[in-house]
């Protein structure tokens, strides 16, 4: 039986494939979240995500990224503001909105005594796929996420990274037109991370919209068509990588070792041009230094005043 | 159609996840209640125990089994779903909260049907004479399960930690049976406990199960009391379950 809800999901999927969109995948307006203890986690976030577009969300810990994503996925009710998913009011009709989403939360539990395949098949049924389609989708996702060897294993015997990939796979089931992934690759080894990037990129190529929060600056840079930076509950920057780099008045970075602290960390200064940076190095008689074009990390540092830890800059 | 598929999926997920825990389930649903039946029969004078007493002990053991599986066991599953993030996983799916609840209840009914049938067969093996009406017994068991599941759901929703919740569900699962006049008559209880103990859901359930096993039909009062308690506890339990955070 085809319900109105499943028709809408099919329409959204169809629109995503044919690129004939009637509404943005996500339209958030004035999202404001104040918790009971008075903490303001989001302070008026406006964001549009178009079908076929991947948005990376960056921000320090506690900046409000997860709060924002949880409001989009209907898990958390905003204090004020609105969220629409393909034109559906996600606050008033969470089930309908979720029917068009694939969600990977930052933390969620799996069933230890179910096998990988059983997870995919059963949860595919919850996404309204027929038994045959559920089996086919499960096989496809298992292969795409490089989990074929683990297919018949009970989830309780798998590593943290493998369990994380299952959570990502569950979001992909049913090819939803919108994917909301909260730090999907945290805890994955480099090769698994690249496999996941490939799967996400393929979904975007197929027309899906993706919102992805990440701690890895390389991930945001490589995957994101547009990048949003959230700090202290506000979306303080949003645009393509070039647009964000264009916000820096001084786009050359001089990194050097302080002569008075030779074993300390590298110091950084920003200059408007390469020659200004080199002149500064000569004037200060620096012997160990490098000059480079500014990167997303520099934009992030300039806007938030926070540095990424070494492990977080590389994907 | 989608709703039915969802309910069956939740049921199947819970059922399949029990594969590794079949041993403890049989302990709770069959071994402990059977042991209680044999123990109470022995204490009351074994072979001399009249049929009426044997029926009471069997009814008590059936209610004991329902209490352990519906409050302790199911409460534990609900706590596990909540504290290990499985509830969150369900919440990421286009699944109505009511479908999740019905799937869980279906699982509880399946457990109850298995435990009750097995205990009746064990009772027959031990020579308990009974003439149960399947329909009436099924209705009593269903209402009892609904009522006790609601209590398990309240604890699972309100517990501050997994440990606190599991201690409470264990204590309530056994306590509701031991405090109710199930294995003994109300007259043998202390005065202060008599009135309260007769109002416990397990007391109504035991009376209704015993009457039904004896082939009687006079259980309207018990059914109404169980029905009322089921509505209150289930409504409260599942309203407290946080599907979406405010």
Q: What is the pLDDT of residue A235?
A: 92
B5 CB within 8 Å of a chain A CB: yes
Closest C-alpha among A256, A283, A285 to residue A269: A256
Same domain, A266 and A223: no
Distance from CA of B66 to the nearest CA of A (A): 24
Token code pair at residue B242: 């946080």
* pLDDT of res. A49: 95
Which residues in chain B are closer than 8 Å to A94, comparing Cβ atoms? 244
A92 touches chain B (CB under 8 A): no
Q: What is the pLDDT of residue A198?
A: 92
Chain B contact for A175 (CB, 8 A cutoff):
no
Averaged pLDDT for residues B72-79: 91
pLDDT of residue A300: 83
Per-residue pLDDT at A310 exceeds 50: no
Q: Residues A239, A252: one domain?
A: no
The answer to whether B85 contacts chain A (CB < 8 Å) is yes
Same domain for A56 and A20: yes
Number of domains making up chain A? 2
Using the beta-carbon criterion (under 8 Å), do B84 and A76 form an inter-chain contact?
no
For residue B60, pLDDT over 90 is answered with yes
- Percent above pLDDT 90 for chain B: 61
Interstrand relation of A266-271 and A252-257 (parallel, antiparallel or unpaired): antiparallel
pLDDT-derived band at A136, boundaries 50, 70, 90: very high
Same domain, A134 and A176: yes
- Residues above pLDDT 70, as percent of chain A: 90
Q: Looking at beta carbons, which residues of chain B come within 8 Å of A75?
A: 88, 91-92, 244-245
Domain boundary among the residues A217, A244, A271 is at: A244
Which pTM was predicted?
0.84
CB contact A44 to B (< 8 Å): no
Tell me how many residue pairs between chain A and chain B have CB atoms under 8 A apart. Answer: 91
Out of B9, B81, B84, name the one closest to residue A126 (CB). B9
Is the confidence at residue B211, as pLDDT, over 70?
Answer: yes
DSSP 8-class letter at B187:
G
In which band, very low, low, confident or very high, does the pLDDT at B127 lie, cut at 50, 70 and 90?
A: confident
C-alpha distances out from residue A77 to A35, A37, A67, A90, Å? 10, 16, 10, 10
Do A239 and A295 sit in the same domain of this protein? no
Regarding whether A210 and A121 lie in a shared domain, the answer is yes
| Of the candidate ranges A100-109, B34-43, B183-192, the one whose mean pLDDT is the lowest | B183-192
Q: What is the ipTM of this complex?
A: 0.86
Task: Specify the pLDDT at position B160.
Answer: 93
Contact flag A3-B89 (C-beta cutoff 8 Å): no
Do A63 and A107 fall into the same domain? Answer: yes
Query: What does the pLDDT look like over A53-75, one tens digit per residue?
Result: 999 999 888 889 999 999 999 99
User: What's the pLDDT band for B10 if we cut at 50, 70, 90?
Assistant: very high
Answer yes or no: do A84 and A219 share one domain.
yes
A221-241 pLDDT, tens digit each? 889 999 999 988 999 999 998
Query: How far is A32 from A40, CA to CA, in rounded Å?
Result: 8
Which of A244, A274, A300 corresponds to the end of one domain?
A: A244
| Boundary of a domain, candidates A201, A226, A244 | A244
Pairing of strands A80-85, A26-34: antiparallel
For position A29, what pLDDT does the model report? 95
Do the bridges between strand A54-58 and strand A226-231 make them parallel or antiparallel, or are there none, so unpaired?
Answer: parallel
A48 and A197 belong to one structural domain: yes
Same domain for A97 and A144, yes or no, is yes
Region class of A138: left (phi > 0), else alpha (psi between -120 and 50), else beta: alpha
A214 and A279 part of one domain: no
Q: What is the pLDDT of residue B2?
A: 86
Distances (CA, A) of A115 to A158, A172, B88, B241: 10, 18, 19, 27
If you average pLDDT over residues B179-208, what whole number do you get?
88
Q: Domain range for residue A51?
A: 4-244
* CATH number for the domain that contains residue A50: 3.40.50.300
Higher pLDDT, A251 or A44: A44
A164 and A51 fall within a common domain: yes
């Amino acid at each position: 039986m085809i319900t109105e809800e499943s028709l809408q999901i099919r329409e959204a999927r169809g629109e995503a494939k044919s690129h004939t969109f009637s509404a943005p995948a996500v339209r958030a307006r004035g999202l404001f979240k104040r918790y009971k203890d008075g903490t303001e986690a989001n302070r008026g976030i406006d964001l549009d995500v178009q079908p076929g577009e991947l948005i990376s969300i960056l921000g320090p810990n506690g900046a409000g990224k997860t709060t924002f994503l949880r409001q989009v996925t209907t898990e958390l009710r905003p204090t004020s503001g609105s969220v629409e998913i393909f034109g559906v009011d996600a606050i008033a009709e969470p089930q309908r909105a979720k029917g068009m989403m694939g969600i990977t939360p930052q933390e969620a539990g799996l069933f230890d005594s179910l096998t990988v395949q059983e997870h995919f098949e059963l949860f595919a049924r919850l996404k309204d796929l027929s038994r045959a389609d559920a089996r086919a989708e499960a096989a496809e996702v298992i292969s795409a996420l490089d989990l074929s060897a683990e297919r018949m294993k009970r989830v309780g015997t798998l590593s943290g990274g493998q369990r994380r990939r299952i959570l990502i796979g569950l979001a992909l089931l049913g090819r939803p037109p919108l994917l909301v992934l909260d730090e999907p690759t945290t805890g994955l080894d480099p090769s698994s991370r690249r496999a996941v990037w490939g799967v996400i990129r393929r979904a975007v190529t197929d027309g899906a919209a993706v919102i992805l929060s990440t701690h890895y600056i390389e991930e945001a840079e490589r995957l994101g068509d547009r990048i949003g930076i959230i700090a202290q509950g506000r979306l303080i920057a949003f645009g393509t990588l070039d647009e964000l780099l264009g916000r820096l008045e001084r786009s050359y970075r001089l990194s050097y070792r302080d002569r008075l602290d030779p074993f300390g960390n590298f110091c950084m200064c920003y200059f408007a041009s390469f020659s200004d940076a080199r002149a500064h190095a000569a004037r200060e008689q620096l012997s160990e230094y490098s000059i480079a074009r500014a990167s997303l990390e520099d934009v992030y540092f300039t806007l938030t005043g926070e540095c990424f830890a070494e492990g977080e800059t590389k994907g | 159609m989608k709703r039915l598929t969802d309910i069956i999926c939740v049921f199947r997920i819970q059922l399949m996840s029990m594969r590794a825990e079949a041993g403890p389930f049989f302990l709770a649903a069959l071994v402990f209640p059977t042991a209680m039946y044999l123990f109470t029969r022995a204490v009351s004078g074994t072979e001399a125990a009249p049929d009426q007493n044997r029926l009471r002990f069997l009814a008590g053991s059936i209610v004991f089994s329902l209490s352990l599986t519906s409050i302790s066991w199911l409460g534990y599953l609900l706590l596990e779903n909540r504290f290990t993030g499985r509830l969150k996983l369900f919440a990421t799916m286009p699944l109505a909260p009511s479908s999740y609840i019905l799937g869980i209840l279906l699982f509880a009914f399946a457990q109850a049907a298995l435990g009750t049938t097995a205990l009746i067969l064990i009772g027959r093996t031990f020579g308990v004479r009974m003439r149960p009406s399947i329909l009436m017994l099924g209705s009593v068991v269903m209402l009892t399960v609904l009522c006790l599941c609601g209590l398990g759901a309240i604890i699972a929703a309100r517990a501050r930690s997994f440990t606190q919740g599991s201690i409470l569900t264990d204590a309530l699962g056994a306590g509701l049976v031991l405090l109710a006049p199930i294995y003994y008559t109300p007259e043998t209880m202390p005065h202060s406990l008599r009135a309260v103990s007769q109002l416990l859901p397990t007391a109504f359930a035991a009376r209704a199960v015993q009457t039904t096993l004896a082939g009687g039909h006079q259980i309207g009062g018990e059914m109404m009391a169980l029905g009322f308690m089921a509505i209150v506890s289930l409504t409260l339990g599942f309203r407290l379950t946080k599907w979406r955070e405010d």
